[in-house]
Amino acid sequence: MNNNTATTDTAPEALRASMVEHILNAGHARRAQVEQALRQIPRHRFLPAATITDAYADLAVITKRGRDGTALSCASVPTVVAMMLDQLDVHPGHHILEIGAGTGYNAALLAHLTGPTGQVSTIDIDPDVTTGARRALDATGYGHVHVITRDGALGAPEHAPYDRIILTVGAWDLPPALHNQLAPAGRLVVPLRWRGQARSIAFTHQGAGLRSDSVQLCGFVPMIGQHGERSGHLDTHGLVTLHCDTDQDIDPATLRGVLDQNKTEAWSQVMVNGEESFDGVWLRLTSTEPGTCRIAADPTAVHNALCTPAIPSRSPALTDGSSLAYLALRRPAESAERDWELGAIGHGPTGPTLANRINQHIHTWNHNRTAQPTITAYPADTPDNQLPDTHTINKQHTRLVITY
């Protein structure tokens, strides 16, 4: 029996219509052209190993895993696909480069949007992935899409310049090829990672740099070959891990045992409900705090109260030498059942100060919870005197400035 029909009697067309309605209700596919593309392209044809139900559910479908179980390639969540297409703003006739071929589904959407006068090139470093994408694109009438097996960091200069470039893999940095192959009036959409969190950013050229006009929360399989992060355990049993970027002056070994030191709790009186995202606090921390990083706690660490971050698997933390504080949640006795109070827990000599600094950012975020920053990416060789007088995040190829 074909897996695509094994678990549902519902026709693909009905499930696709339901998927699009869900996307619209989530506030995405704001352009009629994007909605039309989502309604027309048969996503299940790009996911032959998935059930039709899963093909049209609002979830990522893993299509390849490594030997250790790590996801190496997937079909992105449909709402995220639509969100990024909104950011990309494709028009007929555009030349488009996609880095991260995946199943070929996104390339088909791009080809629909750019039409017969446009051009789409999609790249992936994994030949298994490009072979699958090529097969699906040919079978669905998109044989004119260029499918290239190559390190995405190199781009595709043979078809440049591009009116639009989109990365559908998580990037820690912006390789020079992206700057060089983007047309002067072009747009670049990239799921960029820094300080342990990621945002889908839509960039346009501005002077010598790239300036954002849209910043959205997201998560993606990381791009192969970019090693911008390091990590270390904070306890002897390996239950709590600190993740930081290679440009940061943070030594996880210096912080080993910090959770055994005196604990300080600082609560902000800022409340959130169970359905509300507070990732904006993390984003604000990255704009001014050099010691911003990510902390992850095993369920055993949480159960034993060794470390109780707001979200155990991924919460922001601040470090300063041998001290640390992290974002936390608690439910006050007098609050409504679904309300939580944001705060911070600190350890080490300057733990109380770090916890109070996190609370200051909580309050700043609370004044305008939907505020989005402007993120400007400059080439790595840009001298300090040509940058704004503010905190800079330095990567191998890029210098990031985040301002509100």
Is residue 45 helix, strand or coil? Answer: helix
Query: Which DSSP category does 145 fall into?
Result: S
Q: Where are the alpha helices (DSSP H) in 326-385?
A: 351-367
Point out the residues that are catalytic.
76
3-state helix, strand, coil in the chain (%, to 5): 30, 35, 40
In sequence order, which ranges of 98-242 are alpha helices (DSSP H)? 105-114, 127-139, 176-181
* CA neighbor of 233 nearest in space, from 277, 297, 299, 282: 297
- Token pair 């479908």 is at which residue? 61
- Beta strand 182-194 with 162-167 is parallel
- 44: which 2 tokens? 């299940």
307 forms beta bridges with none
Sequence-distant (6+) residues with CB within 8 A of 256 are 232, 233, 234, 235, 236
